[in-house]
Amino acid sequence: MIKILLVDDHELVRTGVSKILNEVKGFKVIDECETGEEAIKFCRQTEPDVILMDMDMPGMGGLEATKKILRFSPEAKVIMLTVHTEDPFPTKVMQIGAAGYLTKGAGPNEMVNAIRAVNSGQRYLPAAIAQQMALSQFKSAEENPFSELSDRELQIMLMITRGDKVPDISEHLHLSTKTINSYRYRMFDKLGIGNDVELTHLAIRHGMINTEKL
């Protein structure tokens, strides 16, 4: 029996994915979490075989939660579930030690295959994303300036572009507003921009955010 932890802030997504997976022979969703913080707490008490982790959640977010889980449980098998198909997201996710990367456009069969693959010790990447990652190493920073951002800067970028304000980001990430603004201005400097509006436009241009959510 493959024991699965499902982490997503949307109840409708969790309900749908749980229904699909619980109908697969040998699969069992043992719990659902709606934040990265909840997932960390759960994984300190119970060891799921596979964790399906949403990347974009209020609060800590999937990237940071995955890093913290892998810090105290290096053998944990995390599949990042996200709307993002463009690098550097897949590269960042695999660099921090995730076992797989799956887009929310994937069908049930692909999700099942991904879970079986990582549970058996393999890493899983959709073919198109694996090809994109291979080609991205030949791209310059000018082609995708977001590749220059750190994990934390990418996380803050996603929060800013979905409309979160600095005080909210500060509260969610448990960092001071001064620290958030330091990350923010460092990010602006790396990207050659001057404000949040320019950041959003640049992110849309490079396919870094899902415009359907804006």
Number of domains the chain is built from: 2
Q: What tens digit of pLDDT does each residue of 75-111 get?
A: 999 999 988 877 778 888 888 899 999 988 889 999 9
Q: How far is CA 24 from CA 6, 29, 103, 106, 116, in A?
A: 15, 10, 20, 16, 11
| Shared domain check, 120 and 19 | yes
User: What type of residue sits at position 94?
Assistant: M
Is the separation of the CB atoms in 57 and 34 below 8 Å?
A: yes
Residue 124 reports pLDDT greater than 80: yes
Cα separation, 82 vs 190, whole angstroms: 25
> Of 136, 169, 194, which one is at a domain's C-terminal end?
136
Instruction: Compute the mean pLDDT over every residue in the chain, rounded to the nearest whole number.
Output: 87
Mark which of 109, 136, 163 sits at the end of a domain: 136
For range 19-44, the mean pLDDT? 96
Is the domain of 72 the same as that of 105?
A: yes
The yes-or-no verdict on residue 62 having pLDDT over 60 is yes
- Please write the tens of the pLDDT for every residue from 135-185: 555 454 556 788 888 888 888 988 898 888 999 888 878 889 999 999 999
Residue 44 confidence (pLDDT) above 60: yes
- Same domain? For 29 and 8 the reply is yes
Which domain range does residue 185 map to?
Answer: 145-213
Predicted confidence (pLDDT) at residue 188 exceeds the cutoff of 60:
yes
pLDDT exceeds cutoff 50 at 213: no
Q: Looking at the structure, tell me whether residues 6 and 91 fall in a common domain.
A: yes
The CATH number of whichever domain residue 181 belongs to comes to 1.10.10.10
Looking at the structure, do residues 59 and 83 belong to the same domain, yes or no? yes
pLDDT category at 203 given cuts 50, 70, 90 is: confident
Q: Are 82 and 17 in a shared domain?
A: yes
Supply the pLDDT for residue 127. 81
pLDDT confidence of residue 132: 67
Mean pLDDT for 55-65 is 84
Same domain? For 130 and 153 the reply is: no
The reported pLDDT for the residue numbered 207 is 72
Look at residues 115, 97, 96 and name the one whose alpha carbon lies nearest to residue 25.
115
